[in-house]
Amino acid sequence: MKTVMIHAQARKALRKMAQKEAEKIRGKIDQYAADPSSLANNVKRLRGDDEIRLRVGDWRVVMRDGEVLDVLKIGPRGSIYK
């Protein structure tokens, strides 16, 4: 299992959302860290960067996958890429 590092912007987004949603997103991040192929349908590479996005319902999680899984941003579907 990879180490997960959640950056300040993502941590702030998790604190602001409903606890149930935050737990669901955190669970999906941990699931991806343990086995990246388990969520193959919900993970895509972003164009132009070495970042990936994880889809969790209407929420998107932008991450950088390396030896450490860096969670950069978490936000609603429409505004996360701006």
What mean pLDDT comes out for the span 65-81?
Answer: 91
Given pLDDT bands bounded at 50, 70 and 90, which one contains residue 71?
very high
The DSSP string of 19-34 is HHHHHHHHHHHHHHHH
Distances (CA, A) of 26 to 6, 11, 52, 64, 74: 10, 10, 16, 16, 11
The answer as to whether 24 is a domain residue is yes
Does residue 81 fall inside a structural domain? no
Query: Residue with structure tokens 């999906």?
Result: 28
Q: Looking at the domain assignment, is residue 25 inside a domain?
A: yes
**Burial of residue 63 (number of CB atoms within 10 Å: 0-12, 13-18, 19+):** buried
For residue 82, is it within any domain? no
Q: Which residue bears the tokens 């343990």? A: 34
Convert the pLDDT of each residue in 11-56 to its tens digit: 999 999 999 999 999 999 999 999 998 888 899 999 888 899 999 9
Question: Is the pLDDT score of 78 beyond 90?
Answer: no
Assigned domain for 41 exists: yes
**CATH number of the domain encompassing residue 63:** 3.30.2310.20
Q: How many domains does the chain have?
A: 1
In a domain, 7, yes or no: yes
Tell whether 45 is covered by a domain: yes
pLDDT number for residue 56? 95
pTM confidence score: 0.90
